[in-house]
Amino acid sequence: MDQQARAAALVDVFVYVVVLNLFVEYLPGVVTETFTVSLLTAVLLKVVLEVVLLFKGRAVDRFRAAETLPGRIGAGLLLWLVLFGSKFAVLELVDLVFGDRADLGGFLAVSSLIVVLMAARGLVRRLLTPVDETGGRPAR
pLDDT of residue 58: 93
3-state class of 102 per DSSP? strand
Half-sphere exposure of 76 (CA within 13 A, CB side): 7
Mean pLDDT of 30-45: 96
Which amino acid, one-letter code, is at 36?
T
93-121 pLDDT, tens digit each: 999 999 999 999 999 999 999 999 999 99
Inter-residue contact 113 to 19 (CB < 8 Å)? yes
Res. 129: pLDDT tops 90: no
Percent of the chain with pLDDT over 70: 95
- Residue 30 sits at φ, ψ, to 5 deg, of -100, 120
Mean pLDDT of 54-69: 92
Q: How deeply is 66 buried, as exposed, middle or buried, from its count of CB atoms within 10 A (0-12, 13-18, 19+)?
A: middle
